[in-house]
Amino acid sequence: MPNQLNILISAGPTREWIDPVRFISNPSSGRMGYALATNAQKRNYSVTLVSGPVHLQEPKGVHLKQVETAEQMGKAIFENAKHADIVIMCAAVCDHRPLEQWVQKKKKEVFPNEIKLVPTIDILQELGIRKKENQVLVGFAAETENFEENAKIKLKKKNLDWIALNDVSQEGIGFNADYNQITMLSSEGKKVKFEYSAKEVIANKMLDLIIK
């Protein structure tokens, strides 16, 4: 690894708009991704943080790029991934967006009972295809069942070096919580479990492991 590492991190949710006042999203607060960015900055690495809409203070000394949709996040990530030694996709990118996006607020009297959804781009999978030599690619797997099995499928399918398996089946860990519980799985078969701790503590342990 070079001394002056370039780290690219994504955080927060995306918003996929239905009309100007309604969107599809998820409860990601951005705390896990911001904790990773803050920790990486403290190690004097060059950090770019691509963030969906969150209510968090901008971390000092970090290049922050704010986006809303999966499409915008993909564009910002692909632009910055070219120069990144490590990419960590912590964002909860919406897997789907409405096929149609109305320009005017849809009146409730004519609001349809069903909205057709189409898949968004899988940013991480695309990063796996474009991965540079020596680039370390880290994804998250937010799971509610078949935890390790599902995470291993993502690790392989997206051509990752590490995946952070995040059990999001219980309250108090994962989405919109101060604490988390992560098991790191590597493409080389390593498995490292971090006990239930504050996201700042987990971020520190994750970076120690990835940068080793």
Report the distance separating Cα 29 and Cα 156, nearest Å.
Answer: 27
Site residues for ligand PMT, 88-107, by CB under 6 A, read 89-93, 95
Instruction: Collect all residues with Cβ–Cβ distance below 8 Å to 183 and sequence separation of at least 6.
Output: 147, 148, 151, 164, 165, 191, 192, 193, 194
> Contacting ligand PMT (CB under 6 A), which of 70, 87, 155, 206?
70
Per CB under 6 A, the segment of 17-25, 59-67, 84-92, 103-111 that binds ligand PMT is 84-92
Reduce the secondary structure of 92-118 to three states and give it as a string.
Answer: ECCCEEECCCCCCCCCHHHCCCCCCEE
Nearer to ligand PMT, 62 or 141 (CB): 141
Is 150 considered catalytic here? no
- Which residue shows structure tokens 């999001």? 168
SS3 assignment, position 183: strand
> Contacting ligand PMT (CB under 6 A), which of 41, 80, 154, 207?
154
128 binds ligand PMT (CB under 6 A): no
203 binds ligand PMT (CB under 6 A): no
Per CB under 6 A, the segment of 17-25, 100-108, 171-179, 204-212 that binds ligand PMT is 171-179
Cα angle vertex 202, ends 201, 203, to 5°?
Answer: 90
Q: Which residues belong to the active site? A: 26
Binding site for ligand PMT (CB under 6 A): 12, 28-32, 70, 89-93, 95, 120, 122-124, 139-142, 154, 166, 168, 174-176
